[in-house]
């Protein structure tokens, strides 16, 4: 029986969409499919003028669900990436503002998803990490497009090659997030921003989004990222790194 991994609350002009896959809101194909379905319906509904994405628990999303990953072959990651890319595409191209409220860790695909939002509000407890080098795979989720847009190429390269966690305050300083708030105020601030944007010139916002991230550019980049994942998951490095990650030991790389 499938689980309800995504909860949504519909308001008069907005919708709040919440990830709920404890303990860390890890991504699975099923979660991404549920999230995509809700977001597409919201994007197509003219009565909904703004979208808020948040999460249950102390972490926003840590990337792939390790319970799911432990039961899969490494090649199954391609299936997950393509399901996640459907989510990223609708967030980037929805003709209305998308807000992401980040209450804790956003890593790997979780970080990529929140980068696809138009407005990112972070708790002081939030942290951001690409984490792709941990499992020897290439960047996905539109991150190769969005990170250089938001923080520049040099900082993007630093985050990739150093694979370090960026705290909320640093994230605000470099342009990764728009606002940092006390954990107790995250929901309140996100709701206020949601209601404010829903009352704004959303048709104009939508046209501007199309100019900032043309749908054809978004689709092309997501496809190129997915193709890169298809190639990289076939390597020994990726297979060894994933096994090491699941076993909680240091990986070794041979460049093959």
Specify if 184 maps to a domain.
Answer: yes
Q: Which domain holds residue 55?
A: 6-203
Euclidean distance between CA atoms 124 and 147, whole angstroms: 21
Euclidean distance between CA atoms 15 and 178, whole angstroms: 20
SS3 content of the chain, % helix, strand, coil (to 5): 50, 15, 30
User: 23 CB contacts (<8 Å, ≥6 apart)?
Assistant: 57, 59
Give the 3-state secondary structure of residue 144. Answer: helix
Specify if 93 maps to a domain.
Answer: yes
Specify if 78 maps to a domain.
Answer: yes
Specify if 223 maps to a domain.
Answer: no
Specify if 47 maps to a domain.
Answer: yes
Please report, for the domain that includes residue 108, its CATH number. 3.90.226.10
Which one, of 15, 81, 20, 75, lies nearest residue 49 by Cα?
Answer: 15
Over the chain, what is the mean pLDDT?
Answer: 95
Please give the DSSP secondary-structure letter assigned to residue 48: -
Mean local confidence (pLDDT), 115-130:
98
Q: Tell me if 143 sits within 8 A of 116, measured CB to CB.
A: no
Specify if 105 maps to a domain.
Answer: yes
pLDDT in tens, 67-95: 888 787 767 889 999 999 999 999 999 99
Euclidean distance between CA atoms 126 and 6, whole angstroms: 21
Give the 3-state secondary structure of residue 81. Answer: helix
135 or 178, which is more confident: 178
Specify if 123 maps to a domain.
Answer: yes
Residue 238, H or E segment: helix 236-247
Mean local confidence (pLDDT), 176-180:
98
Specify if 221 maps to a domain.
Answer: no
72 or 113, which is more confident: 113
pTM over cut 0.85: yes
User: 58 CB contacts (<8 Å, ≥6 apart)?
Assistant: 103, 104, 125
| CA 222, chain centre distance (Å) | 13
DSSP 190-225: HHHHHHHHHTS-HHHHHHHHHHHS-HHHHHHHHHHH
Give the 3-state secondary structure of residue 38. Answer: helix
Number of domains within the chain:
1
């Amino acid at each position: 029986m499938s689980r309800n991994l995504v909860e949504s609350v519909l308001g008069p002009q907005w919708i709040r969409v919440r990830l709920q896959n404890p303990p860390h809101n890890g991504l699975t194909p099923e979660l991404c499919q549920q999230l995509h379905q809700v977001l597409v319906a919201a994007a197509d509904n003219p009565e909904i003028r703004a979208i808020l994405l948040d999460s249950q628990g102390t972490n926003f999303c840590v990337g792939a669900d390790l319970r799911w990953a432990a039961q899969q072959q490494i090649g199954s990651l391609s299936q997950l990436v393509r399901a996640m890319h459907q989510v990223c595409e609708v967030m980037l191209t929805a003709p209305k503002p998308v807000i992401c409220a980040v209450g804790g860790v956003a890593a790997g695909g979780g970080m990529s998803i929140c980068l696809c939002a138009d407005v990112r509000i972070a708790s002081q407890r939030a942290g951001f990490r690409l984490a792709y080098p941990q499992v020897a795979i290439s960047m996905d989720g539109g991150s190769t497009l969005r990170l250089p847009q938001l923080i520049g190429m040099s900082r993007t390269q630093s985050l990739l090659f150093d694979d370090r966690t960026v705290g909320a305050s640093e994230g605000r300083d470099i342009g990764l997030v728009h606002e940092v708030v006390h954990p107790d105020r995250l929901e309140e601030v996100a709701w206020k921003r949601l209601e404010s944007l829903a009352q704004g010139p959303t048709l104009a916002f939508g046209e501007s989004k199309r100019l900032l991230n043309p749908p054809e550019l978004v689709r092309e980049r997501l496809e190129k990222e997915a193709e890169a994942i298809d190639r990289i998951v076939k390597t020994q490095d990726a297979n060894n790194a994933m096994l090491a990650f699941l076993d909680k030991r240091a990986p070794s790389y041979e460049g093959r």
